[in-house]
Amino acid sequence: MSKLKFKRFPGDTIVVPMIIGVLINSFAPQVLQMGGFFTGMVTGTSALVGVFLLFMGATIDIKSTPKAIKIGAVIIGTKVALSVALGLAVAFLFNDNFLGLSSLAVISAVSVANNALYSGIVSQYDDDAIKGAVAITSLSVGPTVTMIALSSAGLASISIWSVIGSILPLIIGIVLGNISPWFKQTLSAGVTPCIIVVGFALGCGMSIEQLFQGGASGVLLGLITVFVVGGITVLMDKLTGGNGVAGAAISSTAASGVSNPGALASVDAKYAAIAPIATAQVAAAVIITSFLTPVFTNFIAKKAGK
């Protein structure tokens, strides 16, 4: 039997298994309730995300040059600040519904960046500082930013221990990965397999109907992430001595952001109703930004003469 082949695309590691999960939940949901370890796997999203953060943390190298630290801090700091500002604006100015987008969806999508895509884009440019900035941008992963922003604004009832618990696996991973090369190599190897399993489990919590609901607004979310937030990030990059390339290359939504709405729903039940739609919107943003971010970065690089 010939090997199964398909053309790879950015974000396919989480998107493809997610689609498979959606199809099963849409047409044969009873399969997911057969019990045993299989049902435990598809319903244990929180545990899976915790393991993913542990593995992801091990890939982060805390050693970096001062220039790389500055670039990374500027671009990811701008991105996170804008995600919070836009999310709170949606919550308070538009009654938490801006063209179908909730503050949960906006913060979940905009606050996290596809660092693998960033590294792939900037690898073609001869600038070690821009390449090394990923060590800092990688710190913004998981649902922590979303939890802190919504909780601080009084939009969510989340205890400080839930916030600490959400980032603790990442911190443990960072510590283990930086004190032991063996831990770094061993845990890092689990990132991609873990993403595949998390994607499938997330898909099993969604249906085709929900994906359609998140479709148009999800595309809008992707466009906002790249051109609105990305444009401002490019400006901040230039104002602090950069050439804008790093600011453009970070203007994507990370696949890990797809898990953020579900993570919020697990610690605050009032988000349970909108979490599936927000998840679908973030998933759409992942796909849109995966293709638009390289194009946007190429445009900015040409303007900068790179």
pLDDT the model gives residue 220 = 94
pLDDT the model gives residue 186 = 93
Residue 239 clears pLDDT 90, i.e. is over it: yes
pLDDT in tens, 266-306: 777 777 888 888 888 988 888 788 788 888 988 998 887 76
pLDDT the model gives residue 200 = 85
Inside any domain, residue 29:
no
Backbone angles phi, psi at 98, to 5 degrees: -105, 100
pLDDT in tens, 134-144: 777 876 766 77
- Output the domain CATH number for residue 78: 1.20.1530.20
Domain that holds residue 76: 13-21+43-303
Inside any domain, residue 4:
no
Query: What's the chain look like in SS3?
Result: CCCCCCCCCCCHHHHHHHHHHHHHHHHCHHHHHCCHHHHHHHHCHHHHHHHHHHHHHHCCCCCCCHHHHHHHHHHHHHHHHHHHHHHHHHHHHCCCCECCECHHHHHHHHCCCCHHHHHHHHCCCCCHHHHHCHHHHCCCCCCHHHHHHHHHCCCCCCCHHHHHHHHHHHHHHHHHHHHCHHHHHHHHCCHHHHHHHHHHHHHCCCCHHHHHHHHHHHHHHHHHHHHHHHHHHHHHHHHCCCCCHHHHHCCCCCHHHHHHHHHHHHHCHHHCCCHHHHHHHHHHHHHHHHHHHHHHHHHHHHHCCC
* Contact assessment for residue 104 and residue 280, using Cβ atoms and an 8 Å cutoff: no
Least confidently predicted of 28-32, 56-60, 68-72, 185-189:
56-60
pTM: 0.69
Neighbouring C-beta atoms of residue 234, cutoff 10 Å: 28
As a residue count, the chain comes to 306
Cα 84 to Cα 161: distance, rounded to the nearest angstrom = 21
Inside any domain, residue 280:
yes
Neighbouring C-beta atoms of residue 29, cutoff 10 Å: 11
Inside any domain, residue 293:
yes
> What whole-number percentage of the chain has pLDDT above 70?
85
* CA-atom Rg of the chain in angstroms: 19
The total of structural domains in the chain comes to 1
Inside any domain, residue 130:
yes
pLDDT the model gives residue 194 = 83
CA angle at 72 for the pair 66 and 74, rounded to the nearest 5°: 100
Inside any domain, residue 249:
yes
Inside any domain, residue 36:
no
Inside any domain, residue 256:
yes
